[in-house]
Amino acid sequence: MPKFLIWIAVLAALVALPHGLSFSQQEILVFLTINVLLVASYRLLTLTGEWSLAHVVIMGVGAYSSALLTKKLGVYVPVSMLLGGVIAALIAVLLSFPLFRMKGFYFLIGSFAAGEIIRLLWKRFRDPFGGAKGIKGIDPMPDFSIGFYQFDFFEPTSYYYFAGVIVAFCLWVLWRIEKSPVGLTFHAVHWQDKLAQASGVNVRAYRTLAFAIASGFAGISGALLAHYVGTINPNAFDIDLMVFVLTWAIVGGTATFYGPILGCVVLTVINEVVLRELGLEQMRPLIYGAIMILSILFLPNGLESIVQKFTKRRAAEGAPERSPAE
């Protein structure tokens, strides 16, 4: 089947998907769409070999920034979402000065400490961050019509379509960045940093660039979340969610663009369909931890390796047989 027909079928399925779900399942679909952007942005950071524990807090920076811009300054919601991403990227640049003086394990711990400092600032200052209770009554996305469809953003289906368009565009930008010379340099910084440095590549500048870009898109995902749920607080961006992001990335695999997205979708389905039906939601962190350990032990390249094996086998079966004379 031609590729464009496959993409049209996928698009049609994504458009029709919420109409076959209950209201609560539609809400889960919205959160899944936002989480896809979060984990895809995290992968961009891992291209340089750095694994941050502050990515979810950076997502919160975008959420808080967008919420405050709308509540305090009356900024139009779509503009505040974009500015939330920009502010998250700027905060990442500031954090990069101390963090990129560290490497490996020290960077991991340093990023966790930096994230906790930001979260404590949100808890400490009631004005403007709302303290431990956070910010409530965040302005929703204003309703609008495109003629044949009326977007009512109190309905999860409308927000799913809106978030889906934003996330699809962001994923396209992330994919283009990875395929560009800048993305190839990110790979070089990861695998051959000494050689890249010897070739004149400013390794620290490229690590900072990846950190800032990944944080910018994480900030947009946070803004999407804030204007959907209408309330945010520091606990919404704690280490528990960061563990889930790590699990999505590790279980899905980070060698391909779709690996972390695959991990996010599969684990969300397991969580919301299997664990909820079995009444094991309270054990989710335990089960997620077990899945991550089992994945590292028995599927070190993640779920993406299964897809790659399947596609290579299909390609080999579809290839014309060559005679010995050829």
Q: Is the dihedral of CA 29, 35, 41, 44 positive or negative?
A: negative
Q: How far apart are the first and last CA of the chain?
A: 28
pLDDT tens track for 120-134: 999 999 888 988 899
CA distance 129 to 120: 11
- Confidence check: pLDDT of 284 > 70: yes
The encoded tokens of residue 122 equal 């949100």
CB of 288 closer than 8 Å to CB of 243: yes
The one-character DSSP state at 273 is: I
Task: Give the pLDDT of residue 168.
Answer: 94
Range with top average pLDDT, 46-50, 53-57, 152-156, 195-199: 53-57
CB of 33 closer than 8 Å to CB of 160: yes
Name the band, by pLDDT with cuts 50, 70 and 90, for residue 324. very low
pLDDT tens track for 69-79: 999 899 999 99
CA distance 257 to 170: 13
Whether this prediction's pTM lies above 0.85 is answered by yes
3-state secondary structure of 4: helix
297 burial (CB, 10 Å; 0-12 / 13-18 / 19+) is exposed
**CA neighbor of 242 nearest in space, from 30, 27, 52, 34:** 52
For the chain, percent of residues with pLDDT exceeding 90:
45
120: CB partners within 8 A, 6+ apart: 234
Lowest mean pLDDT among 62-76, 82-96, 222-236, 271-285: 271-285
Query: Which position has the higher pLDDT, 90 or 280?
Result: 90
Task: Give the pLDDT of residue 326.
Answer: 43
Average pLDDT of every residue of the chain: 87
CA distance 206 to 45: 10
CA distance 185 to 204: 12
- Confidence check: pLDDT of 58 > 90: yes
pLDDT tens track for 184-233: 888 888 877 778 778 778 888 999 999 999 999 999 999 999 999 999 99
CA distance 300 to 204: 28
**CA neighbor of 174 nearest in space, from 32, 44, 262:** 44
CA distance 76 to 310: 46
Task: Give the pLDDT of residue 318.
Answer: 61
Name the band, by pLDDT with cuts 50, 70 and 90, for residue 315. low
CA distance 132 to 109: 24
- Region of residue 307 (phi > 0: left; psi between -120 and 50: alpha; otherwise: beta): alpha
Task: Give the pLDDT of residue 325.
Answer: 44
CA distance 183 to 180: 5
